[in-house]
C-alpha cells in the first residue's frame, strides 16, 4: 500500500504538451502527449523492447538507454526541439517507496530485472542524471506507477473511474482512498487534499502464502523465477508467468506418459519457451481438429507428432490456467471495490496485453465478479484503458504543475 502522492483526479480540462516515459516490464515507450482540454489527447510514441541483457546490465546503462531513446524521439521533431524545455512524467512500474511526487526509492526489482545500483536509489534522480549526461533539457516532474497512470488517464475520459488495474507482464492495482484512512502518510505539500491514489502492489498480496491455495506448479514457478517468495499472487496471474505454469504441467504430463506419446521436444524443456501468447492462440482455436494448436505445438514447440487428444488436453490446460488468472484478478477487484464502499457504481480502467489480447479474459472476470458480489457486480464496470500508463504519466506531470 504505497501512497502515490497524486491527490487530484483530472477534470478532463487539462491542456498542454508533456513527455512520458513508460517502463512496464516487457516494453519501454516514449510518448509525447498533447492534452486538448476536452477529455481528448493526441499521442505520438515510440516503442522499444527491453532485452534480457539490458535487464541485467548496471543500472546506469539502463537509464542511459532510456535517455538515448528520448533523445532520438525528440530529434524526430527537428534538431531545434532538442534544446527545448520539457516536463516529463516517468511511469516506473516497480515497487517504489515514493516520498514526493517526483522522488521515489526502488524497494525491490521484479519481472526479471536485476540491474545493480538501483534498489535503494531514487529512480527520478537516476533518470535526471542520464538526461544531463545526454544534455537534454528535461525536468522529470512526476514519478508514476502504471496503475496510477491508468487510473488517471481513464478518469480523464471517464470521471467515474476509481480503480486502475494492470494485467500485462505483471499485475497490480491502484485505487482512490480517502485521506483520513491513510495513516502512514500526511500530505504536507497539499494539506487540503481529501483523497489520494494508493498503489497497492497487489502482485505481492499473500506472499506469506496463507490465503490463496497453490499447487506444485505455482511453487515451481516461484522457485525458478525472480524473486523467490515474492510477488506470488502476480505469479499466478500475469503474462510473464502463465505460459511457464502451463509448460511445467506439460513437462509433468510427458513424464507420466499422459501426453505426446510420440515424444516431447528440447524446446518444451527450455524455461519460458511456452509463451502466454501461445495460450491465447490455443484458446482461440475453435477448429474441429485444433489445427492452430497443432501449429503451436508442432511448429513452434517442435513436438514431433500430436494427437487430437493431446491437443484437447493442452487446450483444457490453457483454459484452466487462463481462467484461474482471470478469476483471481476479479477477486482482487471485488475486494478493492468492497473496501472502497463503491458497490453502487465504479469504473475500473484496465491496461495490459493480457487483458487486451487473451480471449474471454474479461468475460471470465465478469463471471467471477458476479459470483462474489452478486447483483452489485452489475455496477462494477470493467473498461479497457488502452496505453493508459503512458498518457497517465503525462497527465500527472500536468497536474503536478498545479499541485
Residues that bind Mg ion (CB under 5 A): 24, 168, 389
For the bound state, the minimum distance from the C-beta of residue 238 to ligand ADP, rounded and expressed in Å, comes to 7
Q: Which residues of 69-105 are buried (b: 16+ CB within 10 A; e: fewer)?
A: bbbebbeeeeeeeeeeebbbbbbbbbbbebeebbbbb
For the bound state, the minimum distance from the C-beta of residue 72 to ligand ADP, rounded and expressed in Å, comes to 20
- Cβ closest to Mg ion, residue 168 vs residue 332: 168
User: Measuring CA to CA, which residue among 166, 42, 160 is closest to residue 94?
Assistant: 166
Choosing from 280, 325, 362, 391, the residue that interacts with ligand ADP (CB under 6 A) is 280
Residues listed for the chain: 403
Does 300 participate in binding ligand ADP (rule CB under 6 A)? no
Indicate the burial class of 231 (C-beta count within 10 angstroms; 0-12, 13-18, 19 or more).
buried
Q: Starting from the edge strand earliest in sequence, which strands make up the sheet with 161-167, in order?
A: 2-3, 195-199, 171-178, 161-167, 346-351, 380-384
Does 26 participate in binding ligand ADP (rule CB under 6 A)? yes
- Compute the Cα dihedral for 158, 160, 164, 168 and give only its sign: negative
CA atoms within 13 A on the CB side of 26: 14
Choosing from 153, 276, 293, 329, the residue that interacts with ligand ADP (CB under 6 A) is 276
For the bound state, the minimum distance from the C-beta of residue 350 to ligand ADP, rounded and expressed in Å, comes to 10
Helix (H, G, I), strand (E, B) or coil at 58: coil
For the bound state, the minimum distance from the C-beta of residue 169 to Mg ion, rounded and expressed in Å, comes to 7
For the bound state, the minimum distance from the C-beta of residue 166 to Mg ion, rounded and expressed in Å, comes to 6
Count interface residues toward ligand ADP (CB under 6 A).
17
Does 354 participate in binding ligand ADP (rule CB under 6 A)? yes
Residues 6 or more apart whose CB falls under 8 angstroms from that of 343 comprise 337, 373, 376, 379, 380
Question: What track of x and - describes contact with ligand ADP for positions 155 through 174 (by CB under 6 A)?
Answer: -------------xx-----
Choosing from 2, 5, 14, 25, the residue that interacts with ligand ADP (CB under 6 A) is 25
CB 364 within 8 A of CB 399: no
Give me the catalytic one of 64, 122, 146, 310: 146
How far apart CA 112 and CA 56 sit, in angstroms, is 8
- Cβ closest to ligand ADP, residue 281 vs residue 370: 281
**Choosing among ligand ADP, Mg ion, none, which partner's interface includes residue 307 (Cβ < 5 to 8 Å by kind)?**
none
**Choosing among Mg ion, ligand ADP, none, which partner's interface includes residue 240 (Cβ < 5 to 8 Å by kind)?**
ligand ADP
CB closest to ligand ADP, residue no:
24
Residue appearing with cell numbers 498503489: 199
Residues 357-376, interacting with ligand ADP (CB under 6 A): 357-358
What nine digits make up the cell of 180?
A: 483520513
Does 293 participate in binding ligand ADP (rule CB under 6 A)? no
Residues 6 or more apart whose CB falls under 8 angstroms from that of 200 comprise 1, 2, 147, 172, 173, 174, 175, 336
- Cβ closest to ligand ADP, residue 240 vs residue 249: 240
Does 24 participate in binding ligand ADP (rule CB under 6 A)? yes
For the bound state, the minimum distance from the C-beta of residue 276 to ligand ADP, rounded and expressed in Å, comes to 4
146 labelled catalytic: yes
User: Measuring CA to CA, which residue among 173, 195, 194 is closest to residue 335?
Assistant: 173
44 labelled catalytic: no
324 labelled catalytic: no
- Cβ closest to ligand ADP, residue 8 vs residue 329: 329
Give me the catalytic one of 4, 9, 22, 93: 93
Indicate the burial class of 403 (C-beta count within 10 angstroms; 0-12, 13-18, 19 or more).
middle
For the bound state, the minimum distance from the C-beta of residue 54 to Mg ion, rounded and expressed in Å, comes to 17
Provide the Cα torsion 235, 238, 243, 247; round to 10°.
20
- Cβ closest to ligand ADP, residue 202 vs residue 358: 358
- Cβ closest to ligand ADP, residue 56 vs residue 277: 277
What nine digits make up the cell of 266?
A: 528440447
Residues 167-206, interacting with ligand ADP (CB under 6 A): 168-169
For the bound state, the minimum distance from the C-beta of residue 91 to ligand ADP, rounded and expressed in Å, comes to 9
Indicate the burial class of 208 (C-beta count within 10 angstroms; 0-12, 13-18, 19 or more).
exposed
The set of catalytic residues is 29, 93, 146
Interface ranges with ligand ADP (CB under 6 A)? 24-27, 168-169, 239-240, 275-277, 280, 352-354, 357-358
Amino acid at each position: 500500500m504505497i501512497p502515490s502522492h497524486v491527490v487530484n483526479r483530472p477534470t478532463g480540462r487539462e491542456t498542454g504538451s508533456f513527455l512520458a516515459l513508460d517502463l512496464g516490464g516487457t516494453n519501454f515507450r516514449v510518448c509525447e502527449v498533447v492534452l486538448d482540454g476536452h477529455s481528448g489527447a493526441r499521442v505520438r510514441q515510440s516503442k522499444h523492447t527491453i532485452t534480457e541483457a539490458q535487464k541485467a546490465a548496471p543500472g546506469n546503462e539502463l537509464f542511459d538507454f532510456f535517455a538515448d531513446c528520448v533523445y532520438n524521439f525528440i530529434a524526430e521533431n527537428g534538431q531545434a526541439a532538442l534544446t527545448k524545455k520539457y516536463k516529463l512524467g516517468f511511469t516506473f512500474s516497480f515497487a517504489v517507496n515514493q516520498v514526493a511526487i517526483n522522488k521515489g526509492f526502488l524497494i525491490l526489482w521484479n519481472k526479471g530485472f536485476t540491474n545493480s545500483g538501483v534498489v535503494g536509489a531514487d529512480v527520478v534522480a537516476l533518470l535526471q542524471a542520464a538526461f544531463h549526461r545526454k544534455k537534454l533539457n528535461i525536468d522529470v516532474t512526476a514519478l508514476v506507477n502504471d496503475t496510477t497512470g491508468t487510473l488517471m488517464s481513464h478518469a480523464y475520459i471517464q470521471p467515474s473511474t476509481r480503480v486502475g488495474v494492470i494485467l500485462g507482464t505483471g499485475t497490480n492495482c491502484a485505487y482512490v482512498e480517502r485521506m483520513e484512512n491513510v495513516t502512514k502518510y500526511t500530505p504536507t505539500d497539499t494539506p487540503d487534499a481529501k483523497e489520494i491514489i494508493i498503489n497497492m502492489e497487489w502482485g505481492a498480496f499473500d506472499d506469506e502464502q496463507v490465503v490463496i491455495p497453490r499447487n506444485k506448479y505455482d511453487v515451481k514457478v516461484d522457485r525458478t523465477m525472480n524473486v523467490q517468495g515474492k510477488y506470488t499472487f502476480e505469479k499466478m496471474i500475469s503474462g510473464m508467468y502463465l505460459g511457464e505454469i502451463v509448460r511445467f504441467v506439460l513437462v509433468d504430463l510427458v513424464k507420466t506418459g499422459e501426453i505426446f506419446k510420440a515424444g516431447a521436444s528440447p524446446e518444451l524443456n527450455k524455461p519460458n519457451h511456452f509463451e502466454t501468447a501461445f495460450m491465447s492462440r490455443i484458446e482461440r482455436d475453435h477448429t474441429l481438429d485444433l489445427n492452430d494448436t497443432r501449429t503451436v505445438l508442432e511448429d513452434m514447440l517442435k513436438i514431433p507428432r500430436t494427437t487430437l487428444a493431446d491437443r484437447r488436453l493442452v487446450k483444457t490446460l490453457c483454459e484452466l490456467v487462463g481462467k484461474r488468472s482471470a478469476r483471481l484478478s476479479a477477486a482482487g477487484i471485488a475486494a478493492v471495490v468492497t473496501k472502497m464502499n463503491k458497490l453502487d457504481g465504479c469504473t475500473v480502467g484496465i491496461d495490459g496485453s493480457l487483458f487486451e489480447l487473451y480471449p474471454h479474459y474479461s468475460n471470465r472476470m465478469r463471471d467471477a465478479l458476479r459470483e462474489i458480489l452478486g447483483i452489485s457486480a452489475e455496477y462494477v464496470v470493467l473498461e479497457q484503458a488502452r496505453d493508459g500508463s503512458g498518457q497517465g504519466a503525462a497527465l500527472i506531470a500536468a497536474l503536478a504543475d498545479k499541485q
